[in-house]
Amino acid sequence: MDHQEIMTRLQEEFGRQYGSADGAELWFAPGRVNLIGEHTDYNGGHVFPCAITIGTYALVRKREDGLLRYTSLNQDPGRVYEKKISDIEAYTPEDGWTNYANGMIKAMQDNGYPVTFGFDAVIYGNIPVGSGLSSSASLLTLIGVILRAFNGIDVTNEKIAWLGQYTENHYIGVQSGIMDEFAIAMGKKDHAIYLDTATLNFTYAPIDLSGYKLMIMNTNKKRGLHDSKYNERVAECTRALHDLQKELNLATLGALSPEEFDQVSYLIEDPVCRKRARHAVYENDRTKRAVEALNKGDLQAFGDLMNESHLSLRDDYEVTGIELDTLAQTAWMVDGVIGARMTGAGFGGCAIAIVKDEAVERFTKKIVDTYTKEIGYAPSVYAAEIGDGPGRIG
Ligand code: GLA
């Protein structure tokens, strides 16, 4: 669906559920892909994500009475969730997907940003849920910027990203880092964000892909971070850090270079935790080198580091699985592929590849054929575009 079709569908549903759509506003927040720097953001390392042009739309109208009404075109369609702002306390299974929106309100209230005005909303997302392209961070950020406007709250996009992470950590129960929300809240067309998650210092890096496409390969294997081993990986890294801190004055794993890590890694007692920490440290270093390579215009060096990143996520971090490995390994064999790796948390979800324009057709066919044969169902393969952050669009 293009923008106009989305607007029409949202207006129809708005009219059906809440009466006329007069005075309703259209808002959008993107999804994201991470180019490199995976599972480094809760280890004080660097990440290099970008916002993409698919994301989450909301047609919303402010209410004066502190009531929230939500419905979605793609999650429990036809069902309207209602909640009073004053009744929001904690994650509630019956609230379904609206827990993300309620959680964002709670996060704002907890952190000194009072929310009094509610809204009627119809939501539509064109990021497949559970695909690792951050549909949940997109929804969180979208609600954040809408609440800011409706309640006249003085809060920056960086802080909204932080509030999104706070929601994930404290309301949803996923110990995620800040990458997804930051990439979405701070997204900029044709740029990736080089973010140091230890300090939240960041720079924009122009991504000039003329002659190439950034391809997304979706395993179509669904997973939520709740039911994945995500929190287990966070805990393994924390344990590794604690072991190191017994002897060293160290704030995060991201503070170590690979050479320093190799000298002290014997301090980490559990060999599994040692492998996890090795990934975090080496991936952080790879991310720094990848951005340097890109700044020098060396796209092939960038692609080689993407491939190394996937191998480390497969062997040391163990978050890839047969589906993502099949996608990456198939991509590596296609002529014209500069680099390919899983993106996001892993355990299913999506992989990405940088592919020469003239190889895109061949690449797509090879991926679809091989994956379908090996896994038993088809992947989705399409080109991504790097887009802007959230805002009102109509
Ligand atoms: C998920 C989390 C992020 C990050 C990635 C892995 O997307 O939400 O914070 O940890 O996984 O890099």
pLDDT, tens only, 200-212: 999 999 999 999 9
CATH 3.30.230.10 fits 3-205+388-393, yes or no: yes
pLDDT at 245: 98
- Strands 202-206 and 191-196 turn out to be antiparallel
CA of 178 to the centre of ligand 1 (A): 8
Cβ 238 vs Cβ 175: under 8 Å: no
Q: Determine the 3-state secondary structure of 79 from DSSP.
A: coil
Nearest partner of 103 among 62, 136, 56, 127, judged by Cα: 136
Indicate if 120 belongs to the active site: no
Q: How many Å apart are CA 264 and CA 19, to the nearest integer?
A: 65
Structural domain spans, the chain: 3-205+388-393
pLDDT at 225: 63
pLDDT digits (tens, 9 = 90+) for 21-59: 999 999 999 999 999 999 999 999 999 999 999 999 999
Instruction: Kindly indicate the confidence band of residue 226, based on its pLDDT and cuts at 50, 70 and 90.
Output: low
pLDDT at 2: 83
Cα 81 to chain centroid distance, Å, stands at 25
Q: Which of 180, 196, 243, 325 is catalytic?
A: 180
pLDDT at 8: 95
pLDDT digits (tens, 9 = 90+) for 246-304: 999 999 999 999 999 999 999 999 999 999 999 999 999 999 999 999 999 999 999 99
Instruction: Kindly indicate the confidence band of residue 222, based on its pLDDT and cuts at 50, 70 and 90.
Output: confident
Query: pTM, whole model, 2 decimals?
Result: 0.97
Instruction: Kindly indicate the confidence band of residue 224, based on its pLDDT and cuts at 50, 70 and 90.
Output: low
CA of 346 to the centre of ligand 1 (A): 9
Q: Which residues lie closer than 8 Å to 242 by C-beta, 6 or more apart?
A: none
pLDDT at 227: 63
37 lines ligand 1 (CB under 6 A): no
Q: Does 228 have pLDDT greater than 80?
A: no
Q: Does 129 have pLDDT greater than 90?
A: no
Lowest mean pLDDT across 9-13, 222-226, 312-316, 375-379: 222-226
38 lines ligand 1 (CB under 6 A): yes
pLDDT digits (tens, 9 = 90+) for 158-192: 999 999 999 999 999 999 999 999 999 999 999 99
Enter the DSSP assignment of 75: S
Q: How many Å apart are CA 127 and CA 271, to the nearest integer?
A: 37
The string of DSSP codes covering 213-278 is EEEEEE------STTSSHHHHHHHHHHHHHHHHTTS--S-GGG--HHHHHHHGGG--SHHHHHHHH
